[in-house]
Amino acid sequence: MNRTVILSSETVSNLLEAHASLAAWYHAFAAASQSGTPVQTPDVSKRKAFLERAAIDFPEVAAIARAIEAPRLYVPPPPLATPPARVTDPTDA
């Protein structure tokens, strides 16, 4: 079943920015997980690279993707992880 959905340019632009930001975060988390280092917030150039790839993969939205100068960061930086406080059992003495 095929359906045609008409979206405004603004909506497509917002969706592309969200995709670029989340894709960049995913790769940042994956790289940090593999290397055992803290996650670095994806910068504008990394998010822009994902937009460029979307423009290549989906030529119907390429003009909108290439018009976005600096994709917004949609996900906040990760919180600093601190280990939980160690709980001791008073009966273990």
pLDDT tens digits, one per residue of 33-92: 999 999 898 999 999 999 999 999 999 999 999 999 999 988 666 666 776 677 777 676
Does any domain span residue 91?
no
Distance CA 17, CA 21 (A): 6
pLDDT tens digits, one per residue of 31-46: 999 999 998 989 999 9
The strand ranges marked E within the chain are none
pLDDT tens digits, one per residue of 1-33: 789 889 999 999 999 999 999 999 999 999 999
Does any domain span residue 20?
yes
Does any domain span residue 1?
no
What is the extent of the structural domain holding 34?
A: 9-75
**Helices first, then strands: H and E counts in the chain:** 3, 0
Kindly report the CA angle at 22 between 20 and 28, in degrees rounded to 5?
Answer: 100
How many domains are contained in the chain?
A: 1
Does any domain span residue 49?
yes
